[in-house]
Structure 1
């Protein structure tokens, strides 16, 4: 069961990282201010990563009472298992981004070819489907990685 502290601390950290970009997404900022906010966002993000890394290396725990329970409980795992999950997530994410780039390039060309000649529909559809295949392959490799863990 999660305590209130375990829920509030990550929420505060996420809010602190996202806060500089609120006006940028709303479109109520100048280019100079947007750059400054973006640099602030990037520095907060990497600062947070560095803080968590140093915190984990120091061995201190914010939730010291539950440390013994989590080590012997369901959250016990090795670094290799964590890296395996990270690899599976990266495989799915990068494969999906690659498929998006491929479809973004192939779909307008397919629509243009179809508008010029209706006989090109089948050929152009194959190229769009090949781009989507990259995401499916990434998902398949991700499932194989998770099955090995």
Structure 2
């Protein structure tokens, strides 16, 4: 069981680095991310299509959440001053925490769904790559 958790964590780290290295806001960002993953694990055409669909779907959700988080940070910043309202700051902070948690969950779910598309050999390649990156 510990090996499975370690593999999941390593794949999470590896894939997070892969996804974060893609240009944000690019219309072809999903295709770019799939191409990077393909260069590492050699995806089949069916895998490419499925992963690209997952990325596009997730990007819609994460973009919305990211915008809400940014807006919430601005609102929170407006509460900071000499005449601060502690209750308002705590309320805004709680909302911000909830949105951040939702964004984290969305990202983790995307990575889990992508792992589900990969073969055991492909996951092993990513694990090896994650170990190399950590060293």
Structure with bigger gyration radius: 1
**TM > 0.5:** no
Give the structure-2-normalised TM-score: 0.45
Q: Which has the higher contact order (CA 8 A, sep 6+)?
A: 2
